[in-house]
Amino acid sequence: MCAGMAPGLGAPPAVPARLVVLLSLLGLAAAGKLLVVPADGSHWLSMREVLDVLHQKGHEIVVVAPAATLYIKPSKSYELKSYAVPLTLEGVKKELGAFLQMSFEEGFFLTRFFKAYEGLKRLGELTVHGCECLLKDQELIRYLEESKFDALLTDPVSLCGLILAEHLSLPSVYFLRGVPCGLDFEATQCPRPLSYVPRDLSQHTDHMTFLQRVENLLYEISNYFLCDFGFQSLAKLASEFLHREVTVLDLLRRGSVWLLRAEFVMDYPRPLMPNIIPIGGVHCAHKKLTQGEVLCCREESSCPFG
C-alpha cells in the first residue's frame, strides 16, 4: 500500500509545478467537480498536495475514504465523505506494517514468493471488504450518482475507484506509482521486454546476464499467479456490482490519463504511451512531514508493489 523514494534524491522544484499545470488546464475553461477515491499511506501524501492546488484553482472536490485511515483527514480543500469499515485505525497500522515488512524482506525466491502470496492475499481481502462497504453504502452511492461529477481521480492500486468510475460513467485520471505485477504496463499496452525490464521479486537490474533473463521469465510466470490470486475477489465484486463480467484489466484500460509518480533517475527507463505523464518527485513537495510520513515517503520507490 505504501511505497517511496531513493535516498538523497529530492524532488526538483519544477516537478510539482509541472503536475499542477497539467491538472489545472481544466480551469482555463471553468472550474469542475472532481470525485477523488484515494489510497491511504504515502499514496495519499502525494495526492493531497495536488488537491490543495486544485482547490485554489476553484475546483470543487469530494474525497471518498473509509472511516479508519492513517492520513486522510478533513480539510478546507475538499469535502470528505466517509464510510464505515470493520477495521480500526490500530488495525490499519498493524496490517500496513505487516505488509511493508514482507515487501522488504530478502531470501530465497520460493520463500519470498509464498510470503508475497500471503501478503497480497491478506491485503486483497482487506481491500475487497473495504470496497464492499463503500459499494453497499446505498446513501453514499446515491449521493455520488446525483452529484454530477465531471471526472474521477483515483489511485488504481486500491481498484475501488475504478469500479465507481465505471458505475458513474466518469472519465478517470489515475495517480499512481505502479500496479502489482505490472498490470499498468499491460493495461496501457506499453512494451515490457523480459530481456530488459526486471520483474517484481527478481532483484535484477536492467543489465542482466543470459541466465538472469531466463530467471526473469520464471518470475513473470510467478507474478501472473500472484495477481490471479490477488485480484480474483475484486474482479468478482466488480462484476456483481456492475451486473456484468469484468476483469481488473478491463477496468484499468478505462483510464483516460495516467499520472505516473516515477522518474528515470529512480526507475529503469520504459516506453510510455501518450496518455502517461511522468510526475516523479511530486510526493516530496511537502516541506514539513511528520516522522511517520517521512518513513512512508522513503518507502515510495523501493516497495515492489508500488
Residue 1 has pLDDT above 50, yes or no: no
Residue 145 grid coordinates: 450518482
* Residue 290 in this model has a pLDDT that exceeds 60: no
Q: Which residues contact 276 (CB under 8 A, 6 or more apart)?
A: 188, 190, 258, 260
pLDDT (tens digit per residue) in 10-67: 444 444 666 665 565 544 456 789 999 998 877 888 899 889 999 999 999 999 999 8
- 251-289 pLDDT, tens digit per residue, is 999 999 999 887 767 677 778 889 998 887 665 555 555
CA 47, 5, 304, 200 torsion-angle sign:
positive
How many angstroms separate the CA atoms of 240 and 224, rounded? 24
As a whole-number percent, the residues of the chain with pLDDT over 70 amount to 66
The cell for 58 is 476553484
Specify the CATH architecture of the domain 14-298. 3-Layer(aba) Sandwich (3.40)
Structure confidence at residue 3 (pLDDT): 36
- Residues 71-114: pLDDT tens digits? 899 999 999 999 998 766 665 666 666 655 665 566 665 666 66
Residue range 173-197, pLDDT digits in tens: 999 887 877 788 888 988 888 777 7
Q: How far apart are CA 4 and CA 21, in angstroms?
A: 23
